Structure 1
Amino acid sequence: MAQARIGLIGLGTMGAALALNIAEKGFPIAVWNRTTEVTRAFAAGAGDLAPAIVPTESLADLVAAIAPPRAIILMVPAGKPVDDQLAALAPLLDADDLVIDAGNADFHDTNRRNAAGLPFRFLGMGVSGGEEGARHGPAIMGGGDAADWARVADVMTAIAARAEDGTPCAARMGDAGAGHFVKMVHNGIEYADMQMIAEIYGLLRDGMGRNAAAISDIFARWNTGVLQSYLIEISAKVTAATDPHTGKPLVDVILDRAGQKGTGRWTAIEAQHLSAPIPVIEAAVMARNVSARLDERLAGQARFGAAPQACPLSPEVLEQALIAGKILCYAQGFAMISAASDRFGWTLDLPGIARVWRAGCIIRSAMLNDMAAALAQDPSRNLIMAPFFAGLIESAIPCLRQVVSQGAEAGHALPALASGLMWFDLMRTARGTANLIQAQRDFFGAHGFQRIDGLDEPHGPWGKLA
């Protein structure tokens, strides 16, 4: 007899945590993993939650264990594994059953699957917060038909993180791949936020000679102010940790080669298609790619000498620089989401997205409350122009300029912070230098141009100058 409210396929780290979260919130859940031993071990280790978990050893058993109309969450790797799983489920499900891809899918794949005429209902869903979030409350970004979201909204809002005002951090973003798109941009912002914090860490360590414990104290202090956020909080914790093997600060024995799963790269690529400038995110992706080239970096240091020199900057100046960089980064991310909303007809709710990101996810931050309020006042306005954030930027930009200029002079690599500053300077310049570029384009390609005086003369007299 069917007994589960919902099913889940894929009991890896995230899938297992999410299944326990669902069971803990009072929803009986049927689970299946390709490796039967994993399913059995998961059920055996569920403790007090075991009565709410139905382990199954085949897809047919899983389907039979769920009350119709069925809902099944996929927690499998993105790409072909999702398509393979959908194909395997097709002969077992009814037309009104619902499959939810909750992995880190490319939103283009989610769009394709929504348009493919699957023999069952389909939702894409971004889930952020890592293992801890999946277990105790993630941020959830749904994408697909509103009626399909409504069928599982009770489960998703129950398992989601709660903001300080008690609001669940789970919502439908829009049609088709909207949820996975928003999650992708979230991850791009995550890349950028982490990179800027790392750049500030480098200035403290190499420019100011602070040890890991002192840096931890600074991060902990910043976490009580405007920069209060999950990433600053864990930065304080990781810089305070001691390596049990050597007794040294653990961060000092970790190889400086950062991994990535590709979502930040997807954000940078998609931004180009949307003509949405996100230079801070692009710089963060570039920096991760460079970090992987350790042999080349070693050769570069051997040839040109160690880059970082002393750079006496106060922690207060660094804090303000990071505040400015963070605002600029988030402003770029929300502008990209707005561009996608227009391009794909999704009518994305920018203040609603900011509210979903307030808890549970990796980029959760106290600043998102004010961002949600500013976006609610005028979602069409770039975030840097909202009065509250314009005031913060006016106060903090001189510090960001000082950090970038002095850091660069001392040889410190600050790609994300510098990219944010350059974008800001472009955004506050009414007449830039693209007039020369347009003249060049007209010279070699007859692309035309517009005149500032409105005269109808679309080409220059270049033939006379050739």
Structure 2
Amino acid sequence: MERPRIGLIGLGTMGTALALNIAERGFPIAIWNRTAQVTAKVVAQAGMLADRIVPAQTLADLVAAIAPPRAIILMIPAGQPVDDQLAALAPYLDRDDLVCDAGNADFHDTDRRMAAGLPFRFLGMGISGGEEGARHGPAIMAGGDRADWDRVAPVMTAIAARADDGTPCAAWMGQAGAGHFVKMVHNGIEYADMQMIAETYGLMRDGMGMDAAAISDLFTGWNDGPLKSYLIEISAQITAAADPRTGRPMIDMILDRAGQKGTGRWTAVEAQHLAAPIPVIEAAVMARNVSARLGERLAGEARFGPAPQPCDLAPDTLEQALIAGKILCYAQGFAMIAAAAQRFGWSLDLPRIARVWRAGCIIRSAMLNDMAAALAENPARNLILAPFFADLIETALPGLRQVVAQGTAHGHALPALASGLMWFDLMRTGRGTANMIQAQRDFFGAHGFQRLDGLADPHGPWGRTI
């Protein structure tokens, strides 16, 4: 076997899948895990691919197995474990060797590591698609020096998912932590998309009295239209699945408490620093946090009574609401990425990002082809103003209004859908109400304001009160 030019550290679910993907694409790979039994198990279960996998017993063995200049992928938990692993690698690596952090890193950590003067090359690389994507084709978002990406691009593009036009869903996003930033926003959109689907599911279950099988049929139908996406597809499969123990719908046996790894929260926090409004994502993060407060929710129901009541909504109306909500959510995400490009001086290419998200990743969606085209036409324009999506919103907006109005009137919690609608109404209002806020700020803090007539009179007539 040809000596590997690439290695991988961390053989958890994602790391194992990625290593097998690399081997299957014809690239020899050296692997190491801090637990030697795990390394041996991966090789033993690799089948025909085992001939392309070199197991290492120690970190020194791993480095020695890779032909220089080496490339090593880290698939380990984010945060301190990455810093510890980089420190452990330092004695063994040469200046031209490259370490690629492919975990769910905070982009600030990636920036810090790149600025720290590591004794080797370093690349941040966001990977999306879960275990299936890692094994058969993920979406890959890299950040750092372009030359470092070019070194590993032949492998990364070979293992990446392919869009319908055959384009690999792997690309360099920009400098420093840009790749992990884009992956973070991807995860924020993922939170929001999942939340809006869950809200729609709740309306079908609690408002329209539909059983899981009927809900599955509706999701299946939606997946043949504008909502065609991975998340709608798996929602149809989830609601169709039966619990092997009870025979009941599996979805009805699952506790309504959603976990999270923090990337959606990072997106919400960073959006505040960038002054980039992403209320749909923020609402989704809030809803996950509330879902964890099961005891308080049960106490609330005991005190105030069960909230959701039947409501009269048509399936087509729900579909239109979800279409509008999805567009508004993605528009907010792309606007946040544009704000980051300006703030950090990154050369983020919005159409390229949309194209990378078309396959392999969790938020892959048929809409992303049209989003890429709209962003290529005018990257500075908010997506809701692109003619194609403006027309879609106009068609779908009445459905979103009806769903939010009826749903909230009948006690259904719709934080993400409602937040999207409120953001849209703010964005379409030329004369809003912030003049009152600015007047209040001037009254109590002499902060001043701008006049509509342009006259130079920076303060109001109210004078000082203290």
Name the amino acid aligned to 1:291.
Answer: S
Aligned to 2:463, the other structure's residue is in SS state: helix
Partner of 1:425: 425
**1:256-335 pair list within 5 angstroms:** 256-335=256-335
Output one character per residue of 1:240-269: Cα deviation in whole Å (capped at 9) or x when no partner. Answer: 000011110000010000000000000000
Distance 1:464 1:76 in 2: 58
1:89-238 equivalences in 2 (<5 Å): 89-238=89-238
In structure 2, C-alpha distance between the alignment counterparts of 1:80 and 1:360, rounded to whole Å: 28
Give identity over the alignment, percent: 81
Aligned-partner Cα distance in 1 for 2:68–2:172: 22
Is the 1:2–1:66 contact (alpha carbons within 8 Å) kept by the matching residues of 2? Answer: no
CA deviations over 1:412-458 (Å, ceiling 9, x no partner):
00000000000000000001000000000011111111111101111
- Tell me, in whole angstroms, the C-alpha distance in 2 between the residues paired with 1:148 and 1:274: 28
- 2:75 corresponding residue in structure 1: 75
| Distance of 2:19 and 2:463 partners within structure 1 | 70
Matched, 1:359 2:355: no
Do the aligned residues in 2 keep the contact of 1:106 with 1:181 (CA within 8 Å)? yes
Counterparts of 1:180 and 1:164, CA distance in 2? 25
**Structure 1 letter corresponding to 2:165:** D
2:126 alignment partner AA = G
1:327-348 per-residue CA deviation (whole Å, 9 max, x = no partner) reads: 0000000000000000001120
Name the CA shift for 1:222/1:116 in 2 (closer, same or farther; >3 Å): same
2:447 counterpart of 1:447 = yes
Deviation at 1:462, TM superposition (A): 1.7
With normalisation by structure 1, the TM-score equals: 0.99
Alpha-carbon distance in 2 for matches of 1:79, 1:142: 18
Classify the secondary structure of the residue corresponding to 2:91.
helix
Provide structure 1 residue ranges, at least 5 long, that are not aligned to the other structure: none
Q: Does residue 241 in structure 1 map to residue 251 in structure 2?
A: no
Gapped regions of structure 2 (runs ≥ 5)? none
Residue 191 of structure 2 aligns to a residue in which SS?
helix
- Tell me if structure 2 keeps the 8 A contact 1:20–1:135: yes
Encode CA deviations 1:301-333: one digit per residue, 9 max, x unaligned. Answer: 000000000011000000000000000000000
Give 3-state SS (helix, strand or coil) of 2:90's partner. helix
Secondary structure of the residue aligned to 2:171 is strand
Partner of 2:86: 86
Which residue of 1 is the match for residue 406 of structure 2? 406
**8 A contact 1:2–1:65 mirrored in 2:** no
Contact 2:444 2:464 in 1 (8 A): no
Q: TM-score, normalised by structure 2?
A: 0.99
Distance across 1 between alignment mates of 2:140 and 2:192: 21
In structure 1, distance between residues paired with 2:5 and 2:135: 18
Structure 1 residue 463, shift from structure 2 partner: 2.1
Amino acid corresponding to residue 120 of structure 2 in structure 1 = F
Q: Report the 3-state secondary structure (helix = DSSP H, G, I; strand = E; otherwise coil) of the residue aligned with 1:123.
A: strand
Letter in 1 for 2:416: A
Counterpart secondary structure, 1:463? coil
| Equivalent residue letter for 2:81 | P
Q: State the one-letter code of the partner of 1:25.
A: R
| C-alpha deviation, 1:460, in angstroms | 1.0
CA distance in 1, matches of 2:446, 2:57: 67
Hey, what does 1:13 align to over in structure 2? 13
Q: CA deviation at 1:2?
A: 8.1
TM-aligned CA deviation for residue 464 of structure 1: 7.1
Aligned residue for 1:28?
28
In structure 2, C-alpha distance between the alignment counterparts of 1:463 and 1:220, rounded to whole Å: 63
Helix, strand or coil: the match of 2:215?
helix
For 1:412 and 1:45, how far apart are their aligned partners in 2? Answer: 48
SS of 1:381's partner is coil
Count of residues paired in the alignment:
466
Deviations 1:214-234 (A, max 9, x none): 000000000000000000000
**Contact 1:2–1:64, Cα closer than 8 Å, also in 2:** no
* CA RMSD, 1 decimal: 0.9
Is the 1:318–1:400 contact (alpha carbons within 8 Å) kept by the matching residues of 2? yes
Query: Matches of 2:50 and 2:463 in 1, distance apart?
Result: 81
CA–CA separation in structure 2 for the residues paired with 1:137 and 1:171: 14
Q: Partner amino acid for 1:221?
A: G
Distance 1:463 1:72, change over 3 A: same
* 1-structure distance, mates of 2:242, 2:255: 15
